[in-house]
Amino acid sequence: MKSFDKKIKKEFKLLWEMSSEIHLPEPPNTDDAWMEMEQLIEQNEVKTKLSPARFYPKRKFSPQPRFAYVIAAVLMFTLLGQPAYLWLTTESFITDRGEQISFNLPDDSKIRLNAESELTFRSSFNEKSRLVTLSGEAYFDVQSGSHPFIIQHEDVSIRVVGTQFNVRTIENEIEVAVNEGIVLVSNDQTNDNPVHITKGQFISFSKKESPGTPEAIGHDQYPGWIYNKFIFNQENLSVVCKEIERKFDVDIELESDGLETITVTGVIDAKDLSRVLHTLSSLTNRSYKFDNKRYTFY
């Protein structure tokens, strides 16, 4: 070792030093990269497991029901009729708090489902129509196809041809933000003409109202959750905390009155919970503590 070092220093000093000073970008955060890797692996496995004609979700039933299950299914089918038929032919993806999944629909449209959300569709999807129902939040990258793609949430329907957009339904609010293409939103409760939302616009309305007029998104990394960020624009602290609870599977309480009406504006990196809470406490000028398995702002 000693002799090698000496030899190098004597013969190649400049070259040896210069070659280690070449400026290179730092490697990306390994946690983020691994998350992406898990998705890549998952996508690959879904692709190899599925024949192109048929699509099996991982949650409801196994791809090859055993014989007994087939008999049971036939029995239930005859006994229960329509509801059983609906149950058996409905496929759904469900996420818990703190969980996100990505998958492809039978028409190759890509879906990314945020935490605490559910997306269901019938097994006849893409035969005569492309209809899915959603509660929660999902990012859609819809392939163009012969049938319009429709997303239903209670009475609100969102109709598209081929595009990328985010739909979020939290409590009574619905928000649709479009990154690519055109989306039509209508509410059967109010029965107005459907509203057109185009690239770079979003709309946010209550389930009982008509959708109103779209506004400009004003942020190039929207929706934030796709980029692992929280983007808040004059959002009440209580809503902000719900988002954090959903993303990190934690409980957050607001202790003193008046806290929930504090509004938060800004982009927060959602990589790490303690950093998010730290940023939030400096934005709101409040402190937080952790005990009894929950965080409390005061």
Partner 1 sequence: MQTPEKKLLERIKKSNKTAFKDLYYIHHPVLFRYVVYRIRDREIAEDIVQETFVRIWNNRSRLDSNKSFFSLIAKVSNNLCYDHFRHQKVKIQHQEKLPGLYSKNKKNPESGHDLNEMKEAIWNAVNDHLPDKCRKIFLLSRNERKTNQEIADLLNISKRTVENQLYRALKILRKLLKNYL
What are residue 178's DSSP bridge partners?
A: 165
Give the interface segment with partner 1, choosing from 13-21, 96-104, 259-267, 277-285 (CB under 8 A).
13-21
Q: Which stretch binds partner 1 (CB under 8 A): 39-47, 80-88, 102-110, 132-140?
A: 39-47
**Alpha helical stretches, state H, the chain:** 2-18, 30-49, 67-80, 82-88, 237-248, 273-284
- Closest CB to partner 1 among residues 32, 173: 32
Residue 222 is classified by DSSP as -
27 sits near partner 1 (criterion: CB under 8 A) = yes
Q: Which two tokens stand for residue 284?
A: 């709101």
Q: Determine the Cα–Cα distance for residues 199 and 177; give it in Å rounded to an integer.
A: 8
| Contact with partner 1 (CB under 8 A) among 9, 37, 65, 89 | 37
Q: Which stretch binds partner 1 (CB under 8 A): 32-40, 149-157, 169-177, 193-201?
A: 32-40
Report how many residues bind partner 1 under the rule CB under 8 A.
Answer: 28
- Residue in 126, 97, 87, 93 with CA at minimum distance from that of residue 111: 93
CA distance 107 to 30: 33
Region for 81 from its dihedrals, namely left if φ exceeds 0, alpha if ψ lies in -120 to 50, beta otherwise: left
Task: State yes or no: residue 21 binds partner 1 (CB under 8 A).
Answer: yes
Shortest spacing between CB 109 and partner 1, in angstroms: 22
Q: Count how many Cα atoms sit within 13 Å of the Cα of residue 27 in the half-sphere of its side chain.
A: 6
Decide: is 28 part of the binding site for partner 1 (CB under 8 A). Answer: yes
Task: Rank residues 12 and 85 by Cβ distance to partner 1 and give the closer one.
Answer: 12
CB of 160 to partner 1, least distance (A): 29
Site string for partner 1, 42-61 (x = CB under 8 A): --x-----------------
| CB closer to partner 1 out of 42 and 118 | 42
Q: Looking at 6, 9, 36, 49, which residue binds partner 1 (CB under 8 A)?
A: 36
173 touches partner 1 (CB under 8 A): no
Q: Please tell me what DSSP assigns to residue 53.
A: T
Phi, psi torsion values for 19, nearest 5 degrees: -70, -15
